[in-house]
Amino acid sequence: MQCLSTTLCLTFAICSIPLQLTVMVTRRELQTPQTKVPGNDGNDLSQQQASAPPPPGKIGWPVVGDHTLAFYRDTAQFLESNTTRFGPVFRTRILNKPTVMVTSYSGVKACVSTPLLERATAFKPFMARLFGEDNLMLQGDEDRRSQAMALHCVFGCDNLHTFSDTLDAALRVATNHFKTTLEKQHQLDIYSSMKQFCTTMTLALFLGVSEHDTELIERISGVATTHWHGITALPIPFNVFGHKSTFDKALSAKEELLAIIRERIELTQRSTPVPPEQQVLAQIAKSLGQDDERTLNNMLIFVSALIPKALGALLSHLMIRLFRVGNESLLEKARSDSDFLFRCIQEVERLDPPILAGRRVVVPGEIVVIDGYAVPDGDVVMFMYPQANRDPTVYSAPNEFHPDRWLNNDLPTPLTYGAGIGECIGKHLSRQLMVRVAKVFLTQFDITLDDALAADDPHPKSKWLPVARPATPIPCTITPVI
């Protein structure tokens, strides 16, 4: 398996080699009369700021200087060694492209808040064929803001209460389906269990499936998984004598998912009145107007494996923190005090964000100053959420699980959901779902983790790519509370 991972990384790097292999890599000149900085409202900087130095580090030669494999093998070690040597902002070569890594809280916040870093260009090579180009992730800033505003009626904090019945229905479907699963198997892995629960819940929420649609739930779950595997596969489709590449299977799964989404939308449109379990789907389709492609592509994101994996990762870490041996007092307080439970969720969001990094490209013709370093146009910028959320200049005892730190209302919020113009539109919905699911597991289930996971053990390491999860399975027994 390790050999396969190595081969994939190297092949991907080779596939992205510029045609001019013989051209020597040199440092680009960073002088420009229009250097700008995030949060500077577009005004030119002073001459002193305009002459900001480039980030430290080495981008090396194409291919031979690429560090993708080292980053993939041990992300935490790669970042620690480079930040120790160069500081919280450094330059390297990832996927054969000059890349600036940003790990400080201030730097990451600047990255997610500035319009001078472009999202669409950074993600299209990886996601366009699997999700379509007309959606929130891959559109330019103006179109993305337009779609986000249209969807605010669903995801906005002030509007979630109007879908309370739909959320309750989705949670009920997921709970009953999960209990049925437990009748067949009690010994489980904590992450797989949370992911399975969240998969059913999101399908019920966004597609309006009911607890009686067992076969449909299993079918969509399997197709969504196959589709998701295309994210980490070589983007080369082939079909030889019926043997398909992983990417080709993902493309076929995409078409099947789109067909299912289309059927569910048509079912909703024929329903008068729309039943509570289909309200979210109906409102999303209405908000995005008559553009069928845009609606389908955005729905593809919502029903893909991305959201269940992210929520499943957060819930896994929350359950580990609360149910591990020696944390009985913490568990009882979370069960009896909703405010404390929410603080626990905030602390898990800070310590264990499900997404490792954001990826952007500097807008052509611009230079972005991040933490005092000038990043030229064309460079890729990767900003690391886990490191920013543990910045010791922002959070005291940053590696400790301390929920009551959030009693301080002046403490900067974690950057797990972004910030400013780059804030995730699903932030409030995600937190609403986290609270509801956590209460279900705290009141309706008992979880026994592997005995080896004692309270004084270090927190289990994470595997970060493509979505964070415990690096090794953590066995557990989950039983319904009668």
The pLDDT tens digits for 227-280 are 888 877 666 666 665 667 888 888 999 999 999 999 998 888 888 888 888 888
Q: How far apart are CA 338 and CA 334, in angstroms?
A: 7
Q: How far apart are CA 316 and CA 349, in angstroms?
A: 11
The residue with tokens 């010994």 is 187
Nearest CA-CA partner of 147 in 165, 138, 135 = 135
pLDDT of residue 240: 60
Global pTM value: 0.85
Nearest CA-CA partner of 442 in 344, 299, 311, 297 = 344
Determine what percent of the chain is predicted with pLDDT higher than 70: 80
Q: Are 396 and 411 in contact (CB under 8 A)?
A: no
pLDDT of residue 279: 85
Strand ranges, E, within 269-379: 357-362, 367-370, 373-376
- Which range among 111-115, 292-296, 305-309, 379-383 shows the weakest confidence by mean pLDDT? 292-296
Q: Are 271 and 210 in contact (CB under 8 A)?
A: no
pLDDT of residue 402: 96
Amino acid at 112: V
Q: How far apart are CA 17 and CA 14, in angstroms?
A: 5
The H-assigned helical ranges of 352-418 are 385-389
Q: Are 352 and 307 in contact (CB under 8 A)?
A: no
pLDDT of residue 241: 55
Q: How far apart are CA 285 and CA 258, in angstroms?
A: 14
The neighbour count for residue 54, using CB atoms within 10 Å, is 19
Nearest CA-CA partner of 437 in 345, 336, 330 = 345
Kindly tell me the burial class for residue 158, based on how many C-beta atoms sit within 10 Å of its own C-beta (0-12, 13-18, 19 or more): exposed
